[in-house]
Amino acid sequence: NQVSIGSRSVAWVEHEVNEWIEKNILNRKLNS
């Protein structure tokens, strides 16, 4: 089950990156 664990961690990283990007977009809109 190494493959499922690997794809699960990839999905988690993508989720974290998407949240970080959304926060940065919100911060830019608030600051501009």
Q: How many domains are there within the chain? A: 1
pLDDT tens track, the chain, 32 positions: 566 777 888 899 999 999 999 999 999 988 88
Q: How far apart are the first and last CA of the chain?
A: 47
State the residue range of the domain holding 10: 1-32
User: Whole-prediction pTM value?
Assistant: 0.58
Using only the alpha carbons of the chain, give its radius of gyration.
14
